Structure 1
Amino acid sequence: MSTEFRKLLFEVSEALVTDELSALKFLSLDYVAKGTLETIHEPKAFFEVLQERDMIEAGNLFFLKELLYRIRRIDLLSAHLGSSREEMERELRVPGRAQVSDYRQLLYEIAEDLTSENVQKVKFLLRGPLLKSKLQENASMLQVFLEMEINGIIEEDNLTMLKDIFQGFRADLKKKIDAYEEKKREKYSREEVRYPVSVSVYPEEQGAEGEAAKQYGKIYKMKNNPHGYCLIINNHIFKNPHHNREGTLQDGEAVKKVFKWLQFETVEYMDLEGKKIYDTVEEYSKKDHRNMDCFVCFIFSHGEKDKIKESDSSGHLEVDARPSTSIPDRADFLIGMATVEDYLCYRSRNTGSVYIQSLCENMKSLCPQRVDLATILTKVNHEVATKDINGFKQMPKITSTLLKLLIFEVPQ
């Protein structure tokens, strides 16, 4: 990082006060997980997190400019970033340029417009839907909005309760929300014209096409070649021959074929011991990913809850590899598991695992239709869960903190 860039962030951070940091964190919730933001108590740490997520970097300061513009620190925008209110207004009128969502901007503007008396009225009306402990006198309106989101009381497509609350004493804010909803409906209408192809993967559900279109959010950038690394760790041969995983070679070949086709740099490591699994994953985590779009990792082995079996182990599972089976505390993760905890998954010695083969087949057929990965995995879940596997059943699991649609670009 250049000295000039570090100095710039230092000077901006020194000029921000506590309430402004809270506003910046709230406006960034679509990009940084709530759990991470809760650990941030000063602006420098906030800027470090934005750098980790490539939201700001030397030569790319638009997100920082937008944040300062949103919280009305035009003085910092002008003095340190060489921009102005007029320039930002022009930039933000360009379709797709704004990175802070209309929804989060709306909530921030409402919070800024409320008097202390208004805030107390909102808290009083929310007693019941929210715990009293979450409505303490010193809780800011942004904190209240966050608790409403956590409890499912408000969300981007459902602001009914908020409108009901403001109808009684701030009808102007109710109208502001109405205007936001109308603008959102117009945007969806334009998108339906621009993207007329159905995204439904089940023919009998074509009638839901309009609703599916309304679920479209932003799409992750997928423009580099290669898009990223696809790392495959495939344990086939074990110290105890009875534990050998026949059929896993077919899984490795199927995954390599699909992800090479999707323009990933694909590499497979066979029969790794426990420490080597750690070392290999760590090695790839430290590679330069700046000119890549995403990272994919497959781990094929025996396992049980929180454990992966290494290739020189004999009887019990003795390597505590701890794959994450709960919601990660950072955004932009998607984890697909062949089965839910405490249940078995099945693999044919001749054709490979039920889950991986279904995944690869669905990616080959649905990626050209621009179906997003979460939808593909849901279809895989359905196929595997309803399949009779010699009298047994298997239920895969999806865990996601994705903030946008993940659509793989298929080479023409």
Structure 2
Amino acid sequence: MEFPRQRLLVVSEELDKAELAALKFLSLEHVPLRKLEAIQKAQDFFEALQEKGMIEGGDLSFLKELLYRISRIDLLEAQLGSSREEMERDLQIPGRARVSAYRYLLFQLSEDIAEDEMKSFKFLLGKELPKCRLNPKTTMLDVFIEMEKKGILGEDNLSMLKSLCAEINVSLLKRIEEYELNLFGEEEMVITEEQRGSTGGHEAHARWLVSSVAPDSPGRWNESSRLEAYKMTSRPRGVCLILNNHNFAKAREAVPEPKNMKDRNGTDVDAESLRRVFSKLHFTIAEYRDLTAEEIRKIVNIYRCQDHKDKDCFVCCILSHGKKGIIYGVDGQEVPIQELTTSFTGQNCHSLAGKPKVFFVQACQGDACQKGVTIETDSGEQDYSVETDARFQLDCIPSEADFLLGMATLQDYVSYRSPREGTWYIQALCQHLECSCPRGEDILTILTAVNQEVSRKSCKPNAEKQMPQPSFTLRKKLIFPVN
């Protein structure tokens, strides 16, 4: 037991108050509420788990599951010798998961409920729960516990919660309905005619007859049958880093014709659109202009080393000249895109482990096409051989999970920019984010619409086309709430 105790001590020191509350909530089926309410330190929580046989004989499987559920993958890997992939495989084994689907649903809902939405929940529950339990310090998990105490929330009693979600945020209601739908695939719901007639429907008085599948079995809604959404409730959501290269005079001095890099007129229109949209999506904007290759590396390293613990996401928008798999600094020197993206893997940036890392790159990835009168390409070069011996996606996006890379164009092709209106890709991206995020659409749906819009454009007089390319290793839906 000496080795696990040392590890438990390290883990306990790394957990903050909110994470301890989450672990306690997820353990309510195994440790009595009264005992958990008295616990204020993670070490005491681990002692309670040991007393209940949940950490026994050096078996830390339950603790591993808890850390996996709250996305502390860094502790899971560094202290408990496991990984996200191992946990995902392990929890597919029947009977292995010990956090119930119902309990995990409530935890996920609490993660997705914004502060103003939580205030609405408290207001609407004013007549159901004691006012002293609805003070400003009361968290959403506390609210759920109080609802359970009053008997208005339970595994087979979700009607009031659904009614509240219908009034406050329909997307939360959909999450509950998806949970019920996936349960329906393994359990039989029986509704009497009297119940149906008295309610005008079946939702409020549904009674579940449990089959041979246990309610906490893996392979159910929370492991494989449904697609979860990344937590996106922090304010700010995270940093939106914009690297905007416009003036390439240094490159022209260093690189003679025919590899002449013109100034990227119109890029400031793109930067302004990105600032506007991501500010509305509650990101902190950090913009840097006209960076050399070395300066790009330094800026990226600064944000790699920052503590993103209290943030839910990281976004990086790169506006520059480029060719296949690289972007140019204003000095004409190359920076591999893969070098920038891998700077933010869980190993290189621990505080972003398990969180979405999003990159949008506006740059050519191949030979320049013939330009029209007012359209320019974002290619820095005019005369180099075409490379077709490798897939771009595999070269530039890390194999680790939780990355999204949105490229303005396919490998080997140019992308187009209007000196007055900005680039086709960034302008379409910003317009669709602005229109679709308030409707709760996920980023992949939005990028599909961007693909459609950009692909319909053509560059006269030769009708050249452009096709953006998203690549991703996302594990969940990525939705940027406006509220």
> Normalising to structure 2: TM-score of the pair?
0.46
Question: How far is 1:5 from its partner?
Answer: 3.0
Structure-2 residue corresponding to 1:378: 448
Q: Does 1:401 align with 2:410?
A: no
In the TM superposition, what are the counterparts of 1:94-243 in structure 2 within 5 Å? 94=103, 96-97=105-106, 182-183=185-186, 217-238=227-248, 239=250, 240=252, 242-243=261-262
Is residue 9 of structure 2 the alignment partner of residue 5 of structure 1? yes
Rounded Cα–Cα distance in structure 1 between residues aligned with 2:420 and 2:81: 52
| Corresponding letter in the other structure for 2:429 | L
1:158 is matched with none
Tell me, yes or no, if structure 1 residue 264 matches structure 2 residue 283. yes
Q: CA deviation at 1:342?
A: 0.7
CA positional deviation for 1:387: 1.5
Q: What is the DSSP-based 3-state SS (H/G/I as helix, E as strand, rest coil) of the residue aligned with 2:103?
A: coil
CA distance in 2, matches of 1:256, 1:185: 50
Question: Is 1:45 paired with 2:81?
Answer: yes
User: Equivalent residue of 1:224, what SS?
Assistant: coil
SS in 1 for 2:313: coil
Show the counterpart of 1:131.
Answer: none
Alignment correspondent of 2:293? 274
Provide TM-score, normalisation by structure 1.
0.53
Aligned residues: 261
Q: Does 1:93 align with 2:102?
A: yes
Equivalent residue letter for 2:185: E
**Residues 355-388 of structure 1, C-alpha deviation per residue, up to 9 Å, x if partnerless?**
0000001111111111111110111011111212
State the shift of 1:43 in Å. 7.6
Q: Which one has a larger percent helix, Structure 1 or Structure 2?
A: 1
Q: Is the 8 A contact 2:7 2:80 kept in 1?
A: no
Deviation at 1:216, TM superposition (A): 6.2
Q: Secondary structure at the match of 1:229?
A: strand
Where does the alignment leave 5 or more consecutive residues of structure 2 unmatched? 1-5, 14-45, 47-54, 109-181, 190-202, 205-224, 253-259, 342-392
The answer to whether residue 403 in structure 2 is matched with residue 333 in structure 1 is: yes
User: CA, structure 1 residues 372+185, in 2 after alignment: closer, same or farther (shift >3 Å)?
Assistant: farther
- Where do 5+ consecutive residues of structure 1 fail to align? 57-62, 73-87, 100-178, 187-192, 195-214
Describe the SS at the equivalent of 1:225.
Answer: coil
- Between the aligned partners of 1:312 and 1:274, the Cα distance in structure 2 is 7
Of 286, 301, 315, the residue aligned with 1:296 is 315
Larger Rg computed on CA atoms: 2
User: What CA distance in whole angstroms lies between the structure 2 residues aligned with 1:184 and 1:357?
Assistant: 48
Amino acid at match of 1:352: G
How big is the alpha-carbon RMSD for the aligned residues of Structure 1 and Structure 2? 4.4
* Paired-residue identity, %: 35
- 1:78-132 deviation line (CA, Å, top 9, x unaligned): xxxxxxxxxx67x653360488xxxxxxxxxxxxxxxxxxxxxxxxxxxxxxxxx
| Secondary structure of residue in 2 paired with 1:298 | strand
TM-superposed CA distance for 1:234, in Å, is: 0.6
Contact 2:11–2:79 at 8 Å: present in 1 too? no
CA distance in 2, matches of 1:13, 1:67: 22
Q: Structure 1 residues 98 and 29, CA, compared in 2 at 3 Å: closer, same or farther?
A: closer
